[in-house]
Amino acid sequence: MSDPHHGVRVVRHGSHEPPRLAAAARRWYTCDVAATWPRMPAGVAMEPELGVRLAAQRLTALLVAPPYRRRWQIHSTVRRAELSRAAVAAVLAEHLYETGEVGDGHRARSLENRVGRALNGRRMSDRTLELFITAFGLSSEHAEELRDLLRGRSGRSQLVVAGALSAEREMPPRTWRSLQLAEEHTVGPDRAPRQHVTRQLLEAVAETRRYYYAFDTAHAAVTVLTGGAPTGAFRVPGTPIHVVEIELFRPLLPGQTLHLEYRTVFSYPEPPEPVFRRGISESVRHVAVTVRFDPAATPRRVRRGRWESAAATEPAEVGPVELVGGQASLELVPDGRCVIGYTWEW
């Protein structure tokens, strides 16, 4: 199968397959991030639980990164980088005590279940989210992002796909090509992808005002960090492919370039197969692919692979990879169209 949109391919399983797809296509899809099967037709409002899961994924990603990481690490007795529920609860308890909302006899342990439910995406009320925001001193930008996710609301630079779907339509013609590409794929403690960040240098081959970002789920939220803003989403008829339309900050004439960066937070009802692949077109001059694993979900073996085509289920070339700090990375100058990526075993 060709890869007109530089797709990531991830093995699919489950009972939500659309019926009108060829056998090869049912196994590997052309898309830009790993995601799950859609559970709703276009135009149907998303379920409230999705907002909770998306907010939980993004909140977890924020807490394990600077500067918020330092707030809970001083309370942690675990030397590994794993996010500690007890340490997070200690930060919340300290804030409640300092604001006079609880007395001396209040124990941080009483908040651990509440923290666990919130970070696992099972339950997060507005009040709980606001407690996290104030206790950790989240920036106004991060706070508003989380509030929007929890409510399933799209913002100026962020789009919750399920709540923004318009009528189905075909993928528009492609008017750009990618010259440089960097992918960062993060797997969370539940062994499911937590978020995906893409950075690329685009070059217009015809007048270009919009970039179309394709993936195969409605259960995602896309934030454009550099180069444009999301304006809507639609589903390609007869496929699981969903597309976010990104309006570029400036139109490109043929030969002009633009740096585009976007982050996808997505929510899996169950962990997918442990495979991450990236299709590379002939135009890409440099590619870097990084996969990161949460310390609580370290695979026992990781292999780097190169597949002959998107339809191939087994890599033609494989090599062992040793994780460094829970991550593996590869860089290359492609010699043409190819499919590269990682497989791992738990």
Residues 32, 198: contact at Cβ < 8 Å?
A: yes
Q: Which residues sit opposite 288 in a β-bridge?
A: 182, 331
Count of other CB atoms within 10 angstroms of residue 238: 12
Q: Is the pTM of this model over 0.85?
A: no
pLDDT of 242 higher than 90:
no
Lowest mean pLDDT among 70-79, 204-213, 296-305: 70-79
Supply 40's token pair: 């709703």
Q: How many CA atoms lie within 13 A of 247 on its CB side?
A: 8
3-state secondary structure of 155: coil
Q: Provide the pLDDT confidence category of residue 155 given band limits of 50, 70 and 90.
A: low
SS (H, E, C) 219-233: CEEEEEEECEEEEEE
Q: Provide the pLDDT confidence category of residue 43 given band limits of 50, 70 and 90.
A: very low
Strand 242-252 versus strand 257-266 pairing type:
unpaired
User: Which of the residue ranges 22-36, 64-78, 170-184, 304-318 has the most confident prediction, judged by mean pLDDT?
Assistant: 170-184
Q: Provide the pLDDT confidence category of residue 268 given band limits of 50, 70 and 90.
A: low
In the chain, the domains with their CATH numbers are 8-45+164-345 (2.60.40), 48-151 (no CATH)
Count of other CB atoms within 10 angstroms of residue 209: 12
Q: How many CA atoms lie within 13 A of 288 on its CB side?
A: 11
- DSSP per residue, 47-65: PHHHHHHHHHHHHHHHHTS
CA distance 124 to 68: 19
Lowest mean pLDDT among 263-272, 290-299, 317-326: 263-272
Q: Provide the pLDDT confidence category of residue 284 given band limits of 50, 70 and 90.
A: confident
Confidence (pLDDT) at 58: 87
Q: Provide the pLDDT confidence category of residue 6 given band limits of 50, 70 and 90.
A: very low
